[in-house]
């Protein structure tokens, strides 16, 4: 089952950069609707984020890469890690829940902060 926002006609955008905020907002809303944040960590490191993609990779042959979505949270940063196919679509289990996890990190390590820069979404290949 696709979320409602995927079935609606997309507004005309001037560039990909104009469209990214709405993708992030809608992806975040959909993820929050499907799963609950279960973990709070003091510091999220880039190494731990990448390790998660390696050790928790689903057996689904469509999995080609991962994405990390970051949003400010009252305790630090809300992070969602999901697995993507080669077209950057979020892959879901048979129950509709995305493969991945959500957590709150009180801080991000310097390497992860640098990789995010001023963006809220990174793709890990």
Instruction: Give the CATH number for residue 85.
Output: 2.60.500
| Confidence bin at 120 (pLDDT 50/70/90) | very high
Is the model more confident about 16 or about 49? 49
In a domain, 6, yes or no: no
Supply the pLDDT for residue 6: 42
How many domains would you assign to the chain? 1
94 inside domain: yes
At 59 the pLDDT is 93
21 lies in some domain? no
pLDDT at 91 over 70: yes
pLDDT score of 2 more than 60: no
More confident residue, 25 or 91: 91
pLDDT of res. 26: 60
What phi, psi does 85 have (nearest 5°)?
A: -90, -175
For the segment 41-84, what is each residue's pLDDT rounded down to a tens digit? 999 999 999 999 999 999 999 999 999 999 998 899 999 999 99
In a domain, 97, yes or no: yes
- CA separation, residue 44 to residues 18, 39, 47, 66, 107 (Å): 28, 11, 8, 16, 6
pTM of the model: 0.71
Q: What token pair was written down for 38?
A: 């279960």
Question: Distance between CA atoms of 59 and 90, rounded to whole angstroms?
Answer: 15
Domain that holds residue 56: 37-124
Q: Kindly state the average pLDDT of the residues 26-31.
A: 61
């Amino acid at each position: 089952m696709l979320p409602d926002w995927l079935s609606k006609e997309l507004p005309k955008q001037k560039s990909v950069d104009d469209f990214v905020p709405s993708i992030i907002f809608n992806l975040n809303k959909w993820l929050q609707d499907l799963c609950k944040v279960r973990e709070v960590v003091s510091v999220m490191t880039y190494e731990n984020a990448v390790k998660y993609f390696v050790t928790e990779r689903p057996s689904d042959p469509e999995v080609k890469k991962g994405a990390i979505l970051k949003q400010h949270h009252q305790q630090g940063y809300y992070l969602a890690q999901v697995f993507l196919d080669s077209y950057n679509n979020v892959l879901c289990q048979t129950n509709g829940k995305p493969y991945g996890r959500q957590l709150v990190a009180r801080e991000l390590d310097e390497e992860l902060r640098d990789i995010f820069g001023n963006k809220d979404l990174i793709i890990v290949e």
